[in-house]
Amino acid sequence: MSEFEESGIGEECGVFGCVAAGEWPTQLEVAQVLTLGLVALQHRGQESAGIVTSNGVNPPTYNTLKGMGLVNNAFPPEDLLKMRSCNLGIGHTRYSTTGISELQNCQPFVVDTLHGKIAVAHNGELVNAAALRRKVMRHGVGLSTSSDSELITQLLALTPPMEEVDAPDWVARIKNLMHETPTSYSLLVMYTDVIYAVRDPYGNRPLSIGRLVPCLGRGKSGHPSSVCLLCLVLRYYREVMPGEIVQISKHGIKSLSIVPRPEGDLPAFCIFEYVYFARPDSIFEGQMVYTVRQQCGRQLAIEAPTEADVVSTVPESATPAALGYAQQSGLPYVEVLCKNRYVGRTFIQPNTRLRQLGVAKKFGALTDNFAGKRVVLVDDSIVRGNTISPIIKLLKEAGATEVHIRVASPPIRFPCYMGINIPTKEELIANRPEFKDIAGYIGATSVQYLSVEGLVSAVQGGIPSIQKGERISTKPSRRVGHCTACLTGKYPVELEW
C-alpha cells in the first residue's frame, strides 16, 4: 500500500504542496491531492487558484493550471485529467493583498532560469517590497506583475549571479532572500524534484507539514483480501519553525537551516490566525485552534459576565467561543439562528433595502429557543457592524427580550502590512464616533469585547513548553511572542515605505 503514502506539506494559509513518496511516476493523483488541499484552504482566498506540478525528472516538465474564482470552478476537470505523471507540485489560493486581481497575478509563479525552471508560491506580504522591486529593476530586470511572488522568483534568480557551468545552490539563494526581507512569508519553492518549505524568521504566517495516510476498512467477510481503502487522512506532522528551511522530496523531510531573527526580537505569529483565519482543526504551537477559541469564550465570560437566560452563537465561526462562554458562565447553550447555506456572498442586490433583506434571509430565527428570553449572543469580531444589526433586529422581532453582544476578540484599530486584508482605518468601527455608543448603534442591549490581555493569555496560556509535535533535533526558540499589530499598533519590525 506504499503507493498511498505520500508526504505532503499542509499549510493553513493559502499555499499547499505535495510530493508523492511512493514509486514514481504516480498517476494523476498529485494534481488531485493539490486540488483537495487548496479546497481545504479555500477559506483563505477565493479570488483565484493555481497549481504547478512537476514530473520530477531532469530536465523536468512543469504543468500549470490557473483560474479565477473558487478552486472547484477554477480548474476544468478535463484539464486536471491531462496532468498525468506528475510526482510533486505546489498550489496557491489567493485573496489579493498586493497586486490587482487578475489571472496574471495568480500564483504560483514559474520562471525559467539558466538552471531550469523554479516555481514559487507565497503567502504573506513583504514589508519591504517596494525597495526590493527597485533593487531588482536596477539590475535591468523588468517585472511583469505586481505580485510579491514574481519579485521573489527574480530575487532568487539574481543573487548570486548565475554561471552556466556551476550548479544552482537554491538553498543559498533562499538564505540570501531571507536576509533581504524579514517578514512576512511562508514560501514553497519547487525545483525539479524537491520542494523547499520556508517560513520567515518571525514566523508571522503559519506553515505546517503533514503526511497523508490511508484508512483501511474491512470487507463484509472480514478476511484480509477484502481490505479496502476507506479514506485518506492528512496526519499532522509538525510546523515549519520561524526562519526554517525544510526540504521535502521523495526521500523524505529534512530540515536544512534556521535563519535567526535579530538579537532580542520575539517571534511574531499573527494572533488573528487563532481568532478568525485558521480552520478550527488547525494546530499551531502545539494547541488546537478550536480549543483556543473556546478558551477565549471562557475568558470573555470572566471579563464580561451577563445576567441572561441563554448563550448562543452567530454560526458557525463563533460557536467554540459561545460554548466556552456557556461552560464558564453556567448558562445553557442553545441555537437561535439557522443558516441558509445557499445564500452566497456574491449575490447581487440592486439596492440597500434588498441587501438587508438578503442578510435577514441568510439566517432564520429558531424562535422556540429564545422567545421571551434574555440572549447572550457571542460573535468572533465586529469589523464594520453591518451584519450584526439585522441579526439583532431579527432576534428581537422574534421575541428575544434582551440581546447582549459579547465579542470574543478585541476591536481591530490598525492596518496590517503583513498579508491580511483589513478595511481602511476609517471604516473600522472602533475608530468611528459611533463606537462610543456601539450598543445603541447596532441595537443591542449591551456590547462587550475581549481585552487584548485576555486574548493573549487565552492564546499563550495553552502553549506547551515543549511542543507536542516536535520530533526534530533543532532547538528553535521556545520564547513566545505574537503579532498583535492590528489591535495595538505595535508592529514586529520597523516598516519601510
Applying the rule CB under 8 A, the residues between 416 and 435 that interact with a copy of itself are 434
Q: Is 96 in the site for a copy of itself (CB under 8 A)?
A: no
Site stretch for a copy of itself (CB under 8 A), options 363-371, 402-410, 421-429, 480-488: 363-371
66/482 with CB nearer a copy of itself: 66
Cα 419–chain centre separation? 10
> Would you say 360 and 394 are in contact if contact means Cβ atoms under 8 Å apart?
yes
Q: Is 130 in the site for a copy of itself (CB under 8 A)?
A: no
Q: Is 154 in the site for a copy of itself (CB under 8 A)?
A: yes
266/441 with CB nearer a copy of itself: 441
Beta bridge partners, 50, equal 66, 92
Q: Is 446 in the site for a copy of itself (CB under 8 A)?
A: no
Applying the rule CB under 8 A, the residues between 464 and 483 that interact with a copy of itself are none
Q: Is 32 in the site for a copy of itself (CB under 8 A)?
A: yes
Number of other CB atoms surrounding residue 256 within 10 Å = 14
- Measure Cα distances from 90 to 41, 66, 147 in Å: 13, 12, 17
13 is catalytic: yes
Q: Is 1 in the site for a copy of itself (CB under 8 A)?
A: no
Place of cell 524579514: 182
Number of other CB atoms surrounding residue 65 within 10 Å = 21
CA torsion through residues 78, 81, 84, 88, sign: positive
Asked if the peptide bond before residue 108 counts as cis, ω within 30 degrees of 0, the response is: yes
Minimum Å gap between C-beta 62 and a copy of itself is 12
> Would you say 96 and 47 are in contact if contact means Cβ atoms under 8 Å apart?
yes
By CB under 8 A, the count of residues binding a copy of itself is 113
φ, ψ dihedrals at 150, nearest 5°: -65, -40
Q: Is 150 in the site for a copy of itself (CB under 8 A)?
A: yes
Mutual angle of helices 452-460 and 289-303, in 10-degree steps:
140
Taking CB under 8 A as the criterion, the residue among 223, 224, 263, 342 binding a copy of itself is 342
380 labeled binding residue: yes
CA distance 229 to 402: 52
CA torsion through residues 488, 490, 495, 497, sign: positive
Q: Is 441 in the site for a copy of itself (CB under 8 A)?
A: yes
SS (H, E, C) 234-277: EEEEEECCCCEEEEEECCEEEEEEECCCCCCCCCCEECHHHHHH
451 labeled binding residue: no
Site stretch for a copy of itself (CB under 8 A), options 250-258, 372-380, 388-396, 489-497: 388-396
Binding track over 288-327 against a copy of itself, x by CB under 8 A: x-xx-----------------------xx--xx--x----
Taking CB under 8 A as the criterion, the residue among 131, 366, 422, 439 binding a copy of itself is 366
106 labeled binding residue: no
Out of 13, 18, 86, 106, pick the active-site residue: 13
> Would you say 153 and 109 are in contact if contact means Cβ atoms under 8 Å apart?
yes
169 labeled binding residue: no
Place of cell 517585472: 143
Asked if the peptide bond before residue 78 counts as cis, ω within 30 degrees of 0, the response is: no
Minimum Å gap between C-beta 464 and a copy of itself is 12
Minimum Å gap between C-beta 488 and a copy of itself is 28
166 labeled binding residue: no
231 labeled binding residue: no
Minimum Å gap between C-beta 491 and a copy of itself is 27
270 labeled binding residue: yes
Q: Is 340 in the site for a copy of itself (CB under 8 A)?
A: yes
> Would you say 110 and 118 are in contact if contact means Cβ atoms under 8 Å apart?
yes
Applying the rule CB under 8 A, the residues between 169 and 208 that interact with a copy of itself are none
Asked if the peptide bond before residue 332 counts as cis, ω within 30 degrees of 0, the response is: no
Taking CB under 8 A as the criterion, the residue among 346, 424, 465, 473 binding a copy of itself is 346
> Would you say 244 and 472 are in contact if contact means Cβ atoms under 8 Å apart?
no
CA distance 255 to 244: 7
Taking CB under 8 A as the criterion, the residue among 57, 130, 172, 338 binding a copy of itself is 338
Number of other CB atoms surrounding residue 371 within 10 Å = 14
Q: Is 68 in the site for a copy of itself (CB under 8 A)?
A: no
Applying the rule CB under 8 A, the residues between 254 and 293 that interact with a copy of itself are 279-281, 288, 290-291
Minimum Å gap between C-beta 190 and a copy of itself is 14
User: Where does 159-252 have alpha helices with state H?
Assistant: 170-180
Minimum Å gap between C-beta 68 and a copy of itself is 11
Binding residues: 270, 317, 379-380, 416, 483, 486
Active site positions, annotated: 13
Binding residues for [4Fe-4S] cluster: 270, 416, 483, 486
